[in-house]
Amino acid sequence: MTKKLCTYVGCKSIVDHNNDGTSPRCTDHPRNYTPEKTQERQRKYAHHYNEKGQNIYSTWRWKKLRKAKAERNPLCEHCYEYGIAKKVEEVDHKNEIEDGGAVWDIENLQSLCKRCHLIKTDKCKQDRERKVDDWGYRI
């Protein structure tokens, strides 16, 4: 067993930990894993996983594609439209995967800073929540 700091934010307790791949926590800050939350998260982000069950953002193919896009457009594309030169921090899908966007198409990617990525993702999420069918009913 080794001694490690509790990983709870702001806690400075030292914990005996057996290096089993879990996060060390003190008795005041136990982790509350529930199968329901895990299943809900898996359903919510199911579009991030390929047919083998791997998260696409951790595959070598995504990392290579992301690097190619960041090299092609090293500045945030949204900020650049307003004459601001900010370094790329995120590579994002223009048409989100959840909305049917192509996962591996470099033309469906855009280079963004963190701020623009958050704004764009928030707007897409709100649009998805407000989506209605041909008769005006929420989908």
Per-residue model confidence as pLDDT tens digits over 65-92: 999 999 999 999 999 999 999 999 999 9
Q: What percentage of the chain carries pLDDT values higher than 90? A: 43
Neighbours of 22 (CB within 10 A): 10
The whole-chain average pLDDT of the chain stands at: 87
Do residues 5 and 15 touch, judged by C-beta distance below 8 A? yes
Give the model's pLDDT for residue 88.
96
The larger pLDDT score, comparing residue 66 to residue 21, is at 66
Average pLDDT score over residue span 32-53: 74
pLDDT tens readout for residues 85-114? 999 999 999 998 888 889 999 999 999 999
How far is it, in rounded angstroms, from Cα 45 to Cα 9?
25
The larger pLDDT score, comparing residue 133 to residue 55, is at 55
Alpha carbon 51 to its chain's center: 19
Burial environment of residue 56 by CB neighbours within 10 A (0 to 12, 13 to 18, 19 or more) = middle
Q: What percentage of the chain carries pLDDT values higher than 70? A: 92
As given in the structure block, the two tokens for residue 106 are 């470099």
How far is it, in rounded angstroms, from Cα 69 to Cα 57?
14
Would the pLDDT of 30 be above 90? no
DSSP β-bridge partners for residue 17? 2
Average pLDDT score over residue span 41-55: 78
Would the pLDDT of 14 be above 70? yes
